[in-house]
Structure 1
Amino acid sequence: MTRQNISSGSAWEPVLGYSRAVKVGPYVHVSGTTASTPDGVVGLGDPYEQTKAALKTIAQALTEAGAQLSDVVRTRLYVTDISRWEEIGKAHGEVFGEIRPAMAIVEVSQLISPELLVEIGADAYIGE
């Protein structure tokens, strides 16, 4: 099977040695994705906006891999404040409401940068 590494251009990718997404066969695995952009963090202090921004980056990586959001079968959300799950869940639901992938939402003590509130990973299957 052919392997395709997909970069979003994040400064973290070469430093940490990872790809935004990796496609092997019909599977696409998207790394943990935050609201960090080349212009800074989107939605400072706002987990809803950060979730939307992370999902936008995930959608772009999927497109580059030849997939789409409707191919996503699992998402994993890491959040720094689980009490704000409704805001985060609302943004996730706006994107995945009809798709309904398997999902986990887990509180963590912090992400790689203090202004980041949400990190999302996704797995997609392009098949049949």
Structure 2
Amino acid sequence: MTKNILSTTKAPGAIGPYSQGVEIGGFVYTSGQLGLNPETGQFGEGVAEQTRYSLSNVRAILEAAGTTLDQVVKTTVFLKDMNDFAAMNEVYGSFFAEPYPARSAVEVARLPKDGLVEIEVIAVKK
């Protein structure tokens, strides 16, 4: 199987030794995306805006692979504070339609750059 490394300027660049995403075996795996504005490199204000940026960044990586959010089968959401779950979930719901992908959501002690949310996905290639 050939591993295709994904990269787009429409999402923030990797801040370490990893790829924005990898396509292999008919699946696309994105690295966790923080809630950063890809144009400014700055975080959105609050968890809702950071969730919006995070999922927009995920969408850009999926588009670079030739697939869409509709093809996502699994998401993992990392939250700095589980009290932000409702605000994250409201924005999250605006990006996905039924049938929804499987999802895990966990609270973590700290995220890179002290972000409030980070989201990664697994999608099938169209």
Match of 1:107 in 2: 107
**Which runs of structure 1 show a deviation greater than 4 angstroms over 4 or more consecutive aligned residues?**
none
Distance across 1 between alignment mates of 2:99 and 2:5: 25
Partner amino acid for 2:40?
D
Q: Structure 1 residue 125: deviation in Å?
A: 1.1
Partner amino acid for 1:39?
T
How does the TM-score come out when normalised to structure 1?
A: 0.88
Q: Structure 1 residue 41: deviation in Å?
A: 2.2
Partner amino acid for 1:42?
F
Q: Structure 1 residue 11: deviation in Å?
A: 5.0
Task: State how many pairs are aligned.
Answer: 122
Distance across 1 between alignment mates of 2:92 and 2:42: 18
Of 71-80 and 94-103, the range deviating more from structure 2: 94-103
Distance across 2 between alignment mates of 1:8 and 1:49: 21
Structure richer in strand, relative to its length: 1
Partner amino acid for 1:122?
V
**Is 2:86 the partner of 1:86?**
yes
Distance across 1 between alignment mates of 2:34 and 2:8: 12
Match of 1:41 in 2: 42
Distance across 2 between alignment mates of 1:99 and 1:63: 20
Q: In the TM superposition, what are the counterparts of 1:1-128 in structure 2 within 5 Å?
A: 1-9=1-9, 10-12=13-15, 16-36=16-36, 37-44=38-45, 46-114=46-114, 116-126=115-125
- SS of the residue aligned with 2:67? coil
Percentage of pairs with the same residue: 32
